[in-house]
């Protein structure tokens, strides 16, 4: 259900459950988490692209599996999804969602957990849980409030509105719209791999904590580090830096 391809300084994870529109059940989420943990140990990999196979990025959580859940197993289903998406959001690597097709419900939650989102022009996305009588279970409501504000998040959550790629971009939920979405995602991953890995990790922490004190601390550590000095020297010497 998950395909992982390592390409030098970045990796591509593809959801491969086309017969179910890449809907995510517990087994897929556990396989995804195992893949993420495996890539965590690859220190040369700075960014990870997540995409879907076939026509969908992901139709969301697997409703057929949800139908059999009771209160206990339902909480576990939510816990596993939360755990995986929190891992993506808080990980020191850069995650890029390459949206090849619709992202509904949990599929949108997965995209929102990533740092950067690139979408094909025909992509649509929405927190559509309310349309099937449910609510977000993997942190989607919290992330949506954080990204677009409480008022707009409330509108999207309560109506289950499906956004076009352009509408999502106008709200800051999509960063780039491109027919060559995967090519652009890989170009971005390659560009990130050329940057100071210490600075990348510092920014991920700063985006999470949002603190002036942390920013000052991170600046001091980065500017005085071996990689920081190398970046400045390379700038003056008009050459590519060689980071460790």
The single residue of 3, 30, 129, 230 carrying the catalytic annotation is: 129
Region label for 59, one of left (φ > 0), alpha (ψ between -120 and 50) or beta (otherwise): alpha
Q: Tell me the C-alpha distance between 42 and 37, whole Å.
A: 9
Q: H-type helices in 140-211, by residue range?
A: 140-148, 150-159, 165-170, 181-193, 197-209
Looking at the fold, whether 148 and 78 belong to one and the same domain comes out as yes
Looking at the fold, whether 22 and 49 belong to one and the same domain comes out as yes
**CB crowding 111-147: b at 16 or more within 10 Å, else e:** bbbbbbbbbbeebbbbbbbbeeeeebbbbbbebbbee
Looking at the fold, whether 130 and 220 belong to one and the same domain comes out as no
Tell me the pLDDT tens digit for each residue of 5-60: 999 899 999 999 999 999 999 999 999 999 999 998 888 899 999 999 999 999 99
243 inside domain: no
Q: What is the pTM of this model?
A: 0.91
User: Whole domain around residue 201: which residue ranges?
Assistant: 196-236
Best CA proximity match to 60, nearest among 124, 5, 9: 124
Looking at the fold, whether 50 and 142 belong to one and the same domain comes out as yes
Q: Please name every residue paired with 119 in a beta bridge, in sequence order, or none if there are none.
A: 99, 177
143 — phi, psi (to 5°)? -65, -40
Instruction: Output the six-digit token pair for 209.
Output: 């904590």
State what percent of residues in the chain have pLDDT above 70. 100
Looking at the fold, whether 30 and 73 belong to one and the same domain comes out as yes
Coil vs helix vs strand at 107: helix
Q: Listing from the earlier edge strand, what are the strands of the sheet with 176-177?
A: 2-7, 10-15, 47-52, 94-99, 116-119, 176-177
Looking at the fold, whether 109 and 204 belong to one and the same domain comes out as no
133 inside domain: yes
Region label for 63, one of left (φ > 0), alpha (ψ between -120 and 50) or beta (otherwise): alpha
Tell me the pLDDT tens digit for each residue of 182-233: 999 999 999 998 899 899 889 988 888 878 888 888 889 888 999 988 988 9
Q: Tell me the C-alpha distance between 229 and 96, whole Å.
A: 28
- Say if residues 136 and 149 touch (Cβ distance below 8 Å): no
Would you give the distance in Å from CA 243 to the centre of its chain? 25
The single residue of 31, 109, 186, 240 carrying the catalytic annotation is: 109
Looking at the fold, whether 123 and 141 belong to one and the same domain comes out as yes
The overall average pLDDT reported for the chain is: 93
- Say if residues 122 and 181 touch (Cβ distance below 8 Å): no
Looking at the fold, whether 67 and 9 belong to one and the same domain comes out as yes
Looking at the fold, whether 207 and 162 belong to one and the same domain comes out as no
Best CA proximity match to 9, nearest among 180, 198, 192: 192
Looking at the fold, whether 152 and 228 belong to one and the same domain comes out as no
Looking at the fold, whether 178 and 229 belong to one and the same domain comes out as no
190 Cβ neighbours under 8 A, 6+ residues apart? 9, 10
* Overall domain count for the chain: 2
Task: Answer yes or no: 109 catalytic.
Answer: yes
Is residue 235 predicted with pLDDT exceeding 80? yes
230 inside domain: yes
């Amino acid at each position: 259900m998950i395909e992982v391809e390592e390409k030098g300084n970045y990796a591509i994870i593809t959801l491969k459950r086309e017969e179910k529109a890449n809907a995510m059940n517990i087994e897929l989420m556990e396989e995804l988490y195992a893949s993420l943990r495996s890539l965590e140990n690859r220190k040369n990999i700075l960014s990870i692209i997540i995409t879907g196979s076939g026509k969908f990025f992901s139709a969301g959580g697997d409703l057929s599996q949800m139908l059999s859940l009771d209160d206990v197993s339902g909480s576990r289903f939510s816990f596993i999804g939360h755990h995986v998406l929190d891992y993506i959001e808080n990980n020191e690597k850069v995650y890029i969602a390459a949206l090849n097709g619709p992202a509904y419900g949990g599929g949108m939650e997965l995209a929102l957990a990533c740092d950067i989102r690139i979408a094909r022009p025909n992509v649509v996305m929405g927190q559509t849980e309310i349309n099937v009588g449910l609510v977000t279970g993997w942190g989607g409501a919290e992330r949506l409030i954080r990204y677009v504000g409480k008022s707009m998040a409330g509108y999207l959550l309560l109506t289950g509105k499906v956004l076009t790629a352009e509408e999502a971009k106008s709200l800051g939920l999509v960063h780039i719209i491109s027919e060559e979405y995967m090519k652009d995602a890989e170009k971005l991953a390659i560009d990130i791999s050329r940057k100071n890995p210490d600075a990348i990790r510092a920014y991920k922490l700063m985006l999470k904590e949002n603190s002036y004190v942390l920013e000052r601390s991170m600046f001091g550590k980065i500017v005085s580090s071996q990689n920081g000095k190398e970046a400045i020297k390379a700038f003056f010497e008009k050459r590519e830096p060689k980071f460790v």
